[in-house]
Amino acid sequence: MNDSDQPAVLLVVGDASETVDTLYPYFRLQEAGFRPVVVAPERRTYQMVMHEVRPGWTITKEWEGYQIAADLAFSEVDPAGYEGIFFSGGRAPEYLRYDEDLLRITRHFFDEAKPIASVCHGVEIPAYAGCLAGRRMATVAKCRHDLEVAGGVYLDEPCVIDGNLVSGRTYHDHGHFIGPWIALLLERVSPG
């Protein structure tokens, strides 16, 4: 099968997206027969990071991770052509959430009830887009406020499924929530 024949799924990134948060779903999508399409503010290479709270630290420590190239800028995306979306963690969402094109894309996936996954700081994007009222989600504890201010319900669990929305707290939860999200994507492209 040619890559262009595969159903496509968006992965939202920016500088300081978390490396594991981004690459784990990227490769899992490929394994499942989807074409991951990396989208960001503009077409260029982005610097991902590795971050976690280390013993003795009370805040997140961050190191440079791998780089990833964006296939498309947010302004170039017609979300109707994509089956699902993934909001990666790291510090990137804190800045990306103000991009009007990303907000347009985000609202499309919620309005159309397409499969959505979010981890860690990824919640900041749909929260700012006004898409989380009444929705149940997991996120990293320090983003609980963003979720609750947007009207969402915080759950401290490795996988929360609320209809088309699947979420986890951090990359430590990927083995719990990525599989159910991919199952929703597979169900969408091969109903029946």
What would the mean pLDDT of 164-168 be, rounded to a whole number? 98
CA torsion, ordered 38, 81, 76, 42, to nearest 10 deg: -10
- Counted domains in the chain: 1
pLDDT of 3 reads: 67
Question: What CATH number has the domain bearing residue 37?
Answer: 3.40.50.880
Digit-coded pLDDT (tens) for 35-77 = 999 999 999 999 999 877 778 877 777 788 999 999 999 999 9
Asked whether residue 2 carries a pLDDT value surpassing 70, the answer given is no
pTM: 0.95
Q: Quote the tokens at residue 109.
A: 């996936």
What residues are labeled active site? 121
> 31 lies in which domain range?
3-189
Lowest-pLDDT choice from 40-49, 50-59, 153-162, 163-172? 50-59
Lowest-pLDDT choice from 7-16, 46-55, 107-116, 121-130? 46-55
Residue burial 138-147, b: 16+ Cβ < 10 Å; e: rest: bbbeebbebb
Q: How many CB atoms lie within 10 A of CB 53?
A: 13
Report residue 192's pLDDT band, with 50, 70 and 90 as the boundaries.
low
